[in-house]
Chains A and B, each alone.
Chain A
């Protein structure tokens, strides 16, 4: 059976761990990953709790295919209530942690309470211990991983750096140095529990019905589908590919989203990254291997990904690849989300240059820019203020119109004024501004559909959100653009029951609505689904999107159409009829 059927529950307050059966009814309705972790959180968390209190829970959730040879299934969902936004939060981390957890015998780990002093969670098959992290606390995620690996050997570890310890809203969790569960302050949840790291080793395996039939089918699917032209960009280039696309389409965030093209884009695009490429890297069971391990001068990183090249490169006016690589490496080590960190530094740069408040950092100036990750993570100097993120900074110092966030989560690398559908995607994403719930830029800005109209965009965003919801619940990596038919075919082989694409589509819609219901219970509604003022009122000034903006009236119409198609009311609340339809 592809599920292990067992969940590990760790209570950090009592120091005790127990196992319990996987809730099979919920597993049928939500599959695993994103959906199932949100279901457990919805049922177990009281509304209104403080995400940094011991009452929050951190869930590490695998999927039914995790640990099998199915391509692109090596990721782990990491979920909690978000310290940055107060919404539901699910993140996705690659590498090798998820299969190791499955081989140790667990579909998921639910971490509750708070340890009295810093610990790390040790899992080796049935042996589960809380070990002292006194020697590790205060160290970066990289040094932490190195020390644990020296001590334990062949374990996979995920760890927080100083940012998570200091409870920053932009703190992430790192694993294998350069993979992250990135957004929404997920690292601060660990920090608030005095949990420095989780290390796992598993010696078991996964059984699927008829391994020969399974292998033959999956090898064929890998060749014909996974490795097809739709996805091969991940292998040949990885995400830096997107710098050129964004520049051409005029949606590359530049100098705190003041513009959509960057004059030095060709210093940080795919060709530039290839110039310093040392090795390609892949997650477990992935034939695409999108990871680019690069070295330049004295720095190195697996990356930079597009989001980092955009938010920490063009968005900060930095057209120096070595500086972006070093900024990336520092963020990975200190445990900072590069999207939020890049946005925060860019906001500080604009505030300084406009003379509104001097944060001591300016667009294009690499020296001070490179000081930022350390100052922010350790809350030292100007970092003490910057560590709070753009929304809190704007509340205190002004600049609200250009504090680029939705629900206090900083905006990813696609300018909504050049892709109106991305504006809607950011406004209606469950965890705040996110490009991974729906990525409609692929169809309009990067496709042949007019990006500057609202026609058909609500439906497009809804379909993508539902599709990605089931995809991240089954756990397939984003970068394999597989159909629900293909997902159904593979799941049917692994689970020995017939699953249809229609059933998966319903699961996707159910997951997305459950996430919305969680947020409703926390007081979120239409008023929280809007974009920063800059998007509605300031025109871009260069390139393909010169003179463009997203008029507020158009956004309102698009949002209303979105609610209507979703079966929600005008306030963005799910109707009783829709809840009944989805068994919520």
Chain B
């Protein structure tokens, strides 16, 4: 864990350097474009988070092992953080460059729907005490959400072809110079490392909570 934290810290510093110092400033948009190197990867990490959650949920349903549930819940919660970063940085970039805070293009809309799904998942867990039923409910919810997220994205794309919206950020990966790709991938790698780091921390917290709960119930049952 310590090595992981150290490596992540180094990667994050490297990413900050790449994005804010190393990569040349984009010609038309200026300095504010550098936010893109964190804006886009955050979404990628959020997507990774929900699919890790999906895999863990399926694992729980198959085995009823609560460690899968811990992994799923942790991944979704960390995913929420990254999705929030994505949603927050979008308008910060869009307003100076395109003059609008928000647009309902497929990517932003999907990011927002994903955010609502994450919130829903966490609120559901908040409202349930018993670990087994909570895990089963969360797992089923995640399967529905992960499948739903894909369909939401596809239907948004379809909608956009009929109701064109201004697109913030241009097509994904369109017209990126080689150095920009390096910065982008570097930041992505750093954020993924950060995700894994936070995930491990969160899992440990979840495990400790479960153990405490179990101890408490055992204690009460003896008095």
Chain A bound to chain B: no
Chain B interface (Cβ < 8 Å from any Cβ of A): none
